């Protein structure tokens, strides 16, 4: 009898695991976490190639330094240079931070280019949907910002920090001098 109970439990667990939704790209990693190394090769990598390399460690340190320049010191222009020097501005996380920095400097046209580049690299990058949505609010494009909010809801849910931030911005009256 115990043997059957164990098998039944294992079987039910397997069914539940198989029926669980697969989540890909919906998790918004903490902003200061560098993106993983890019998979430039088509072939399967050896386990020795999956370990963080010295090159990735240098990239991660540079990413964190640029992140600190942005969020801790408000040094947007220098952060843009730091991020571009990483030579990984084709990744969503890096392109998003460059776009955010240009937006904070008031260069909305260039900021838009970088946000769109980030979304092209990763259409599921929740932080970019949030920041680009805030850009839309600041530009008076409330319908577009609402669209961005719906994308965040679909990717990360309505309880995510990104959703709540953009929803809060949309609740404010237009032209109230938003600062994000």
Taking only the tens of pLDDT, the chain with its 180 residues reads: 555 555 445 444 444 444 443 333 333 334 566 676 654 433 444 444 445 578 889 989 999 999 999 999 999 999 999 999 999 989 999 999 999 999 999 999 999 999 999 999 999 999 999 999 999 999 999 999 999 999 999 999 999 999 999 999 999 877 665 555
Asked whether the beta carbons of 126 and 26 are under 8 A apart, the reply is yes
pLDDT at 119: 97
Q: Which residue is listed with tokens 């032209």?
A: 175
pLDDT at 39: 43
pLDDT at 31: 57
pLDDT at 52: 59
Angle at which helices 161-171 and 126-138 pack, to 10 degrees? Answer: 10
């Amino acid at each position: 009898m115990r043997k059957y109970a164990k098998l039944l439990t294992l079987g039910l667990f397997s069914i539940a695991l198989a029926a669980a939704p697969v989540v890909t790209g919906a998790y918004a990693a903490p902003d200061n976490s560098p993106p993983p190394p890019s998979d430039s090769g088509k072939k399967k990598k050896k386990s020795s190639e999956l370990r963080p390399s010295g090159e990735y460690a240098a990239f991660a340190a540079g990413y964190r330094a640029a992140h600190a320049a942005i969020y801790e010191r408000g040094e947007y222009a220098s952060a843009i240079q730091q991020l571009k020097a990483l030579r990984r501005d084709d990744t969503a996380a890096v392109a998003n931070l460059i776009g955010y920095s240009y937006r904070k400097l008031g260069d909305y046209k260039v900021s838009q280019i970088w946000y769109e580049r980030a979304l092209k690299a990763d259409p599921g990058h929740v932080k970019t949907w949030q920041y680009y949505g805030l850009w839309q609010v600041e530009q008076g494009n409330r319908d577009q910002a609402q669209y961005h909010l719906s994308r965040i809801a679909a990717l990360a849910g309505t309880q995510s920090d990104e959703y709540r931030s953009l929803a809060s911005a949309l609740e404010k009256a237009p032209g109230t001098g938003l600062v994000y």
